[in-house]
Amino acid sequence: MNTEQLKRDLLHKTSKNIDDTIRFANAITGESDYLYTRIKASIKRAESIDIIVSFLMESGVKLLLKDLQDAIARGVQIRLLTGNYLHITEPSALYLIREALGDKLDLRLYNVPNKSFHPKAYLFHGKVDSEIYIGSSNISRGALTRSVEWNYRFTKSSNEADFNHFYHTFEDLFEHHAIVVTDEVLTDYSKRWTKPRLFSKEQSGLDEMQEAQTILDGDKREVIPLYEPRGAQIEALYALKHTREEGWDRGIVVAATGIGKTYLAAFDSRGYKRTLFVAHREEILKQAAESFKKIRPKDEEGFFYNSRKDTDKEMTFALVQTLGKKGYLQEEYFKPDAFDYIVIDECHHATAKNYEAIRNYFKPKFWLFLTATPTRMDNADIFELAHYNTVYEVTLQEAINKDFLVPFRYYGVYDDTINYEEIAYKNGKYEQNSLDARLMVEKRADLVLKHYLKYGSKCAMGFCSSKAHAEYMAQYFNNHGVKAVAVYSGDQGAMSMERSEALNKLTKGELQVIFSVDMFNEGVDVPSIDMVLFLRPTESPIVFLQQLGRGLRKFKGKDYLTILDFIGNYRKANMMPFLLGMKTYTEREMRKLNPQNISLPEGCLVDFDFRLIDLFKEMGKKQRDLRACIVDEYESIREESSIRPTRMQLYTHME
């Protein structure tokens, strides 16, 4: 961890006097003392510092950061050479140290292709003498503290020939076999980086943002919650700072569900006096307020919706349906410059009129737009809201590859209990009553239950087609010994439960499954979800990826998310392999589909029933009549806009 308290405790654990420790022994094995305690003292004495390590980890940089900042404040020159061999160096570690030390640090990457890079040495140059630590420790928290690492220290005066040999070798590597880490190099490395599976366990967290910091004080042990940027958040914060330095007053961050966009906004807002957070669901606002309070504990939070109309708090969380009304966008509530920093969450909704009214009224110093799904079904351009300034983007595939999210195991279950060709299809949808009649039968529910029990789950969420369907599934599962409820809006039924109560019980283990209807596609933070069940025909790529994202957050003891998708012969069922491969699908590509050649994120598995592969191929062979396609699109757009579409609207919104 990177707090001064932890560092003091590490020093206390090894010795009360660093200089006495150094005089005691030059061999450091991690048994009686840590390398960190030694180099901390050496940093304090040094006139200049040279470090060469095969890799940097975020945890190690956080541990050393304050010591290196103090050294730079004294005018100490620091050079650091690390490697990108096997992609072990974490991009977030490079972003973190570059942001904190700036141009005062000369940071370079070893750049000899196809050659291993394994050195670990710390050189400290002084006026009277110099010293070197050489051994097995890279810059990671484990290597510098608790791990078994062997390192040896000697001074230049005690062995000048060997010291000079190491130093001149460092000089040659640094000057002639390395590249300077610029913003362009950082961005390119981050985009290509995939976390080696060997190291994935090191950072598996207790939840999305909380790390457990163990403080050692004699015989006492205390666990203190620590909230600080990590992973993608470090990279995004770096990009946000630099976009403002370039003069931008707004930007959009596109990041997969589970990255921690709300925490990112909270971290980024710390430099501003008053912040407004706008969302379209009450649950999102409540969770956002909790997150912001953890990052900004001294600031008061207020709410603006229903009966709450707080207008004088440092952090205000507003429902767009309330704040966006003309009667509230008045100076008696808020002046146009009342907020310095405004967050528009789930901004793929932000083309609606209430959002537009808010954007037109307020004049903050910075607008932050957040979304996981920038593509809307109506093709509206949300990037225009941020003046096309995409500050940072990390896709779902990248997030899994970088170990920001858990991998998934997807099982495509062949569902022959329903013949979708017998159900009326109009305006891009199946007729609801006919669909429910076929979904709500014992044979189909039994198929779902058997697969749920087969793969096992402690905390699951099922996505249903309607209230009646959710009620039916909850009742069926309860009748077979699985604790389940239905969650939906509007009039409640016998198996329904209020949203927040259901989530609370699911988190505590008092429920095993929630069956929902359009209630948990976005803005829900339940990291413990280990299974999602797709129980309705999925024809929207956006909804599919939103629902998939519900279970990808990291959680202690959770190694992967299980996805059970019950697929029949519904329209566009054969787009699933493209969505799982994180590709944009087209009708032409679907006709050439080979589900066995899907490009998946690291550690993910896709298993389609062989009968589904035959179904997909058969669907791909069928050439849909072009006229029928256009009529379907026309009817869908007309229903969406409630008016007869113009040619331009067809051109803009048609698939």
| pLDDT tens track for 420-443 | 888 888 777 788 899 999 999 999
Q: Report the alpha-carbon distance of residue 386 to residue 203 in Å, rounded.
A: 33
With 0-12 / 13-18 / 19 or more C-beta atoms within 10 angstroms meaning exposed / middle / buried, residue 228 is: middle
The full DSSP string for 605-643 is EEEE-HHHHHHHHHHHH----HHHHHHHHHHHHHHHHSS
Are 312 and 328 contacting, i.e. CB atoms less than 8 angstroms apart?
no
Q: Mean per-residue pLDDT for 532-550? A: 81
Q: What is the pLDDT of residue 654?
A: 65
384 backbone dihedrals φ, ψ, rounded to 5°: -60, -30
Q: What is the pLDDT of residue 68?
A: 97
- Candidate CATH numbers 3.40.50.300, 3.50.50.100, 3.30.870.10, 3.40.50.720; the one for domain 4-203: 3.30.870.10
Please check the confidence at residue 125 and state whether its pLDDT lies above 60.
yes
Do 4-203 and 232-394 show the same overall fold? no
CA atoms within 13 A on the CB side of 621: 6
Q: Report the alpha-carbon distance of residue 336 to residue 371 in Å, rounded.
A: 25
Please check the confidence at residue 382 and state whether its pLDDT lies above 60.
yes
Mean pLDDT of the chain: 84
24 backbone dihedrals φ, ψ, rounded to 5°: -70, -45
Report residue 597's pLDDT band, with 50, 70 and 90 as the boundaries. low
| pLDDT tens track for 211-266 | 333 333 333 334 444 578 998 999 999 999 999 999 999 999 999 888 889 999 99
CA atoms within 13 A on the CB side of 444: 23
Q: What is the pLDDT of residue 625?
A: 56
| pLDDT tens track for 620-629 | 665 455 566 6
| C-alpha 399, offset from chain centre | 6
Are 599 and 618 contacting, i.e. CB atoms less than 8 angstroms apart?
no
Please provide the size of the chain in residues. Answer: 655
Report residue 163's pLDDT band, with 50, 70 and 90 as the boundaries. very high
CATH-assigned architecture of domain 232-394: 3-Layer(aba) Sandwich (3.40)
| pLDDT tens track for 168-192 | 999 999 999 999 999 999 999 999 8
Q: Report the alpha-carbon distance of residue 363 to residue 170 in Å, rounded.
A: 52
| pLDDT tens track for 294-351 | 999 999 999 999 999 999 999 999 999 999 999 999 999 999 999 999 999 988 777 7
Please check the confidence at residue 538 and state whether its pLDDT lies above 80.
no
Q: What pTM did the predictor assign? A: 0.80
Task: Spell out the domain ranges in the chain.
Answer: 4-203, 232-394, 405-623
| pLDDT tens track for 33-92 | 889 999 999 999 999 999 999 999 999 999 999 999 999 999 999 999 999 878 889 999
| pLDDT tens track for 542-594 | 778 778 878 888 888 899 999 999 988 777 776 677 677 655 444 555 445 55
Report residue 458's pLDDT band, with 50, 70 and 90 as the boundaries. very high
CA atoms within 13 A on the CB side of 139: 29
Token reading at 624: 């849909």
Report residue 608's pLDDT band, with 50, 70 and 90 as the boundaries. confident
- Candidate CATH numbers 3.40.1080.10, 3.90.320.10, 1.10.3720.10, 3.40.50.300; the one for domain 405-623: 3.40.50.300
